[in-house]
Structure 1
């Protein structure tokens, strides 16, 4: 399915979360999680539906990749928004919303079938959160899922590095940071050489590892979401300006960080117009196969 890129679009945010359904009331655990994230990021965090995302980003002349995360194996809770709801509502906003799916990485071939089904529905990629979903990216049991993603020419987006999820809660809310080392995704890039991979976020405390993987593997990209650019480490700022300027992608982690706040802090880094356009729009458009 081909999506068009309107010439008025100024940016493509490759990392936004759908946190609320239009038809179901959010559970207590979901609300508690959002409140904890809001406290951690010192923000009045909203719980957007797909419609809310479309309204927010349309007003900004932006497109956004939207997804949820299936942590059912680890938590026993189903995602707040189903893949089908996300697809149905995204189809109402093709000028703004780029749908990504989510599958349980412990789901094996059942999850691989879901990947193929969702790809037929127009999903452009799949979001994984190793720390929340409790798996290593290079676990061979997950490989049938990657095989399906590679076959359908969709994208695997992996959370990497530190996370606000569970931060400050007893035991970190059960979240283990070790799963999110980007070097595990390097194995995936080797074993699935045509698979397009996005490493989400500045990968603290493994930033050098993430830069190395993206520099070494031709289909590995980095999104810059989840951190205000004023906190980007110097090595990330430098590689985004030079050797990896065609591998960096604008992302916010909305609603954790708003596009307005992210862009205000990004401007202070002093990138030239050509690099800024690559990061904000053109790199993502090429990766996602958007036609101008």
Structure 2
């Protein structure tokens, strides 16, 4: 269990990776190498979950961790949600398990979601519309959202363009249109009690994301996937004011280390009273670790 008094921050956005050598036949290693080059990541092979836990423990930071189930759309093999949750449980002083289920799995995916929450303590689910090849407001995904909402879990959606497929031939077949945050506005309307996180500064749709988070009480924004020094001024302005209780620290580990993100965050114009909200308090409330 996370001891809030001991950690200095909660990273709401980190990726679970299997031991190297698991993806030689499906192209995932090539994608990771391309992304590492794009982000200037400081590793040769992606860190495993135990290595991630050790890194975050040394940094005195807690972290939400999840895989991405994009097997149907990309062919990249699925990292089993159960295994991720079990490894997170072994490192529960720093890791908080989320899962990922392709919405195309329909009722089968909904059953899995309920089981993961009930039996493995999963607190949320990661969706990556670009990698999974779907519009978030496609009604075929709603049976899965219903299971997540009924379980009291969180839905976290990749938005905008980050480094996934960037510079690869044809963008590695990935279509940016799916990750326009405006499609998630429908989800927020239809599932008003399900907490929703819009992941990343939503380039080139930043103002759409801010509008949704301002308009819908259940929508939050995580600031992962970019160094804070590149944040658009309007994102910083909203973080300092009307969305100060809805902004969340996220690194996008292992592409960006938490210490790099935090170092750059110190240098941008965020009010002193807002910093603890973004770095820990907002996430602690959203995850149910702390009450208002």
Q: TM-score range with shorter-chain normalisation?
A: over 0.9
Structure 1 residue 94: deviation in Å?
1.0
**Equivalent residues of 1:14, 1:64 under 8 A apart:** yes
1:6 to 4, 7, 28: 4
1:53-78 per-residue CA deviation (whole Å, 9 max, x = no partner) reads 11011111110000110011102332
Gaps of 5+ in 1: none
**Cα 1:25–1:76 shift into 2, 3 Å:** closer
User: Paired residue for 1:272?
Assistant: 271
Instruction: Return the TM-score normalized by structure 2.
Output: 0.95
Mapped partners of 1:4, 1:26: distance in 2: 32
The 5-angstrom pairing of residues 30-41 of structure 1 reads 30-41=28-39
Task: State yes or no: 1:256 paired with 2:228.
Answer: no
Q: What residue in structure 2 maps to residue 112 of structure 1?
A: 110
Whole-Å Cα distance in 2 between the matches of residues 228 and 86 of structure 1? 26
The offset of 1:291, in angstroms, is 4.6
Instruction: Tell me, in whole angstroms, the C-alpha distance in 2 between the residues paired with 1:263 and 1:87.
Output: 26
Partner residue in 2 for 1:183: 182
Structure 1 stretches of 4+ moved >6 Å: none
2:101 is the counterpart of 1:103: yes
Task: Output the CA distance in 2 between the equivalents of 1:50 and 1:61.
Answer: 16
Answer yes or no: is 1:244 the counterpart of 2:237. no
List per-residue Cα deviations over 1:110-156 (Å, max 9, x = no partner).
10111001001100000000001000000000000000000000000
1:269: how far off?
Answer: 1.0
1:65-84 matches, cutoff 5 A: 65-79=64-78, 81-84=79-82
Alpha-carbon contact 1:6-1:95 (below 8 Å) kept: no
| Counterpart residue number, 2:59 | 60
User: In the aligned structure 2, how far is the partner of 1:78 from the partner of 1:151?
Assistant: 28
Is the CA contact (8 Å cut-off) linking 2:13 and 2:250 kept in structure 1? yes
Instruction: Give the distance between the partners of 1:88 and 1:42, measured in 2 at CA.
Output: 30
TM-score when scaled to structure 1?
Answer: 0.95
Residue 27 (structure 1) aligned to one of 18, 24, 27: 24
Secondary structure of the 2:64 match is strand
Give a deviation string over 1:189-221, Cα, whole Å, max 9, x none. Answer: 000110100000000000000000000000100
Shift of 1:87: 1.1
Unaligned runs of 5+ in 2: none
Tell me the residue number matched to 1:201: 200
The 2-side partners of 1:123 and 1:250 are apart by: 20
How big is the shift at 1:163?
2.5
CA contact (8 A) 2:2 2:62 kept: no
Q: Are the counterparts in 1 of residues 225 and 252 from structure 2 also a CA contact under 8 Å? A: yes
